[in-house]
A = this chain, B = another copy of it.
Amino acid sequence: MTSAHVVLARRPQGAPVPEDFRLETRELPAPREGQLLVEVLFATANPGSRNRMGGDASYARGMRLGETMEGPAVGRVLVSNHPEWRQGDLVTGAFGWAERALSSGRGLRRIPARTPSLSAWAGILNLPGLTAYFGLRDVAGFKPGETLIVSSAAGPVGATAGQIARLMGGRAIGIASGAERKRWLLEEAGFAAVIDRSAPDLADALIAAAGEGGAQVYFDNVGGPVLDAAIRALGQRGRIVVSGQIADYNRPDGERSGTRRVHEFIGKRLRMEGMVVFDYAERFGEAEREIEGWIADGRLKFREHIVDGLAALPALFCAQLRGEIFGRALAKVAS
């Protein structure tokens, strides 16, 4: 059986362009005993993948040229030679930018037959939502009554983190760009305040929005000057979750910005901690059930930007890294 794949054709120089990718058709062998064949329904353009494309990686190994682009996906079992799966089962897994995929069943998660949204299993019910859930609760130890600052607030991680903060009895200040994102965050997602990322006085605006005593948690998806501004707005014993550093993904080693404000860590007793969501894999089910419940109740909102077909993913991925996509960036691969 043939399968279309989008692969890494060359290593990006700075910001990726669509020419860094190539669409090709492969022949897949029939699934062996213990394997299953999945058809991909939704594939995702994951900004974190940028980090692996340079050849050196943050926590995962670097990509090889010609390798299928990675990313969580939603699929349906076409053929199963695996005792735990049946034809027609819905599943999420790291199938990447592919039309079809063979799997040993390892790392797959079952999507309940009655789910409030199938595509959500490629976003808010997948790595972005799980990152927000465990980052806020476990890494930051967010508590009722506290104030959260979150960057890339209109992205799937940020929007989910801010809403979970609100659902936990806290308050969220978002950093985002553009009137549409700001309106959605305030009116739909229940953020207490939204500050424009390019505001010249970003730190002052965050300090004013946080109010007396400052914010308690900053959920960092971007790094660089935005991280510096958030550090200024944190109060005593503030905690920073480092979830993404999108400002630095396109940059070579020597040009990364990091933070200039380590000196503030002393007086404010700040704590900054990095996270990899896979460390919480054993508790994904707990998080999925809680997030599904919030979605079903209408208390947790999410945005999606869905393009048609695998071939549209390179342009979508590049646009997302330029900050042009509002919502989880998905491609509908099969119906």
Contact = CB atoms under 8 A, between A and B. Distances in A.
B269 A245 contact: no
Nearest to A59: B267
A260 interface: yes
Contacts of A248: 262-263
Contacts of A59: 266-268
Interface residues of A, number: 37
A275 interface: yes
Interface string A267-298: 11111111110010000000000000000000
Chain copies in the assembled complex = 2
B274 A268 contact: yes
Most buried by B among A51, A244, A258: A258
Given A272-B272, A273-B271, A58 B256 contact: no
Contacts of A254: 260
A267 B262 contact: no
Contacts of A259: 258-259, 262
Given A227-B262, A249-B263, A258-B262, 4 more contacts: A58-B263, A257-B260, A259-B259, A269-B279
